Amino acid sequence: MPAPSTQASLHLHPNLGQTQHPLKGRALVAANGPIRAGELVMADVPYAVLPTVTADDTICSNPGCSRRIPGYASSMTCEHNCSPAVRWCSPTCKHQDRRRHGFECGWLKHNSPELRQVSDHDYHMLWIVVRMLAARSLELEQEMGENELPNDVFASGWPGVQLLRSNRQAWPTAQVQHWRELARNYLQGDDCGLPVTLDLESLVELICAEETNVFELCPGPTEMNRGEPYGLAVFLRVTIANHSCVPNVSHQADGQGRMIVTALRDLAKGEECCTSYFDLAESVDVQARREKTEGLFTFTCTCSRCLAETATVA
């Protein structure tokens, strides 16, 4: 496999901005002028990304690369045998990623066998939180996030993480209590394997934010026939887009960990950019869609389509 060429970089449409919605919080908007159908709205780079361990393919662990590695392709593994899911596409990527991976290596080796037996979901959730902590740790050492654009109107790095909506009050109490137990057992204490961590309540807040904002990386566009997910990622910019069951933008992973947002139709200046948080081909009727938004995302959708279909039903 060839060495990675250039780092996949951030791209933002010049007319893109954000605004504050009274009910929904932050919203993505065509702030400075129209965005035309088919135009690239943004290519967002992940703050943290990991492969779904149950998928055939994996993802290069070097965040600047994050390219998909097919199951049959040769790749580099960690000499500490921390996790079979940790792979690099080239010796260069392995070398570039040594400090970041060093943050998670001991944690993976110590916790992943047990966690994977308990629950794949909890394992992935905690691992991506560990990768967020690793990114924060590197930022603190370097005092500067990479991948910054001069025209980036969005907060990047750890300050951007702290702006993520956690929906803490909306998650069921028992769920938050479970996450608190996981944080206490696996992300704290001298024997958890992490070089640096946060206090317990900050960790619970971070888990709530991760669960509210995490994206599945799928081969297809999210709103239609997305296919089996092969990875998970937290983005700081595309996550600002709110949901609609009649989306005017689409988002799709690009095979290098980025999320590509494209306008599905012309957007007027000032119009909000909404995407679909789930596969609309699978959740066709209003009841199925409501189960998705309420169960997975703790909100009731009030998009024009939902309102129209609810009126018809009632």
Binding footprint of Zn ion on the chain (CB under 5 A): 4, 60, 62, 65, 78, 80, 82, 89, 93, 105, 245, 301, 303, 306
Give the whole-angstrom CA distance, residue 84 versus residue 67. Answer: 17
Q: Tokens 């603190």 correspond to what residue?
A: 140
- Nearest distance in Å: CB 276, Zn ion: 9
Nearer of residues 135 and 161 to Zn ion, judged by Cβ = 135
Instruction: List the beta bridge partners of residue 232.
Output: 50, 216
- Nearest distance in Å: CB 109, Zn ion: 7
DSSP letter assigned to residue 205: H
- Nearest distance in Å: CB 244, Zn ion: 6
Nearer of residues 14 and 84 to Zn ion, judged by Cβ = 84
Give the whole-angstrom CA distance, residue 195 versus residue 204. Answer: 18
Nearer of residues 206 and 301 to Zn ion, judged by Cβ = 301
- Nearest distance in Å: CB 6, Zn ion: 12
Give the whole-angstrom CA distance, residue 156 versus residue 152. Answer: 8
Give the whole-angstrom CA distance, residue 189 versus residue 255. Answer: 36
- Nearest distance in Å: CB 80, Zn ion: 4
User: Residues 213-217: contacts with CB within 8 Å, 24+ apart?
Assistant: 213/164, 213/165, 213/239, 214/125, 214/128, 215/239, 215/251, 215/253, 215/259, 216/52, 217/49, 217/59, 217/253, 217/257
For residue 178, the surrounding DSSP H or E stretch is helix 173-186
The answer to whether the Cα torsion of 182, 231, 161, 240 is positive or negative is negative
Nearer of residues 191 and 285 to Zn ion, judged by Cβ = 285
Q: Of 258, 260, 261, 293, which Cα lies nearest the Cα of 278?
A: 293
Nearer of residues 78 and 209 to Zn ion, judged by Cβ = 78
Nearer of residues 176 and 301 to Zn ion, judged by Cβ = 301
Give the whole-angstrom CA distance, residue 61 versus residue 116. Answer: 19
CB 59 within 8 A of CB 49: yes
Nearer of residues 161 and 245 to Zn ion, judged by Cβ = 245
Q: Of 3, 44, 6, which Cα lies nearest the Cα of 273?
A: 44
- Nearest distance in Å: CB 95, Zn ion: 11
- Nearest distance in Å: CB 290, Zn ion: 8
Which residues in 256-283 are b (16+ Cβ under 10 Å) and which e? bbbbbbbbbeebeeeebbbbbbbbbeeb
Nearer of residues 236 and 245 to Zn ion, judged by Cβ = 245
- Nearest distance in Å: CB 33, Zn ion: 27
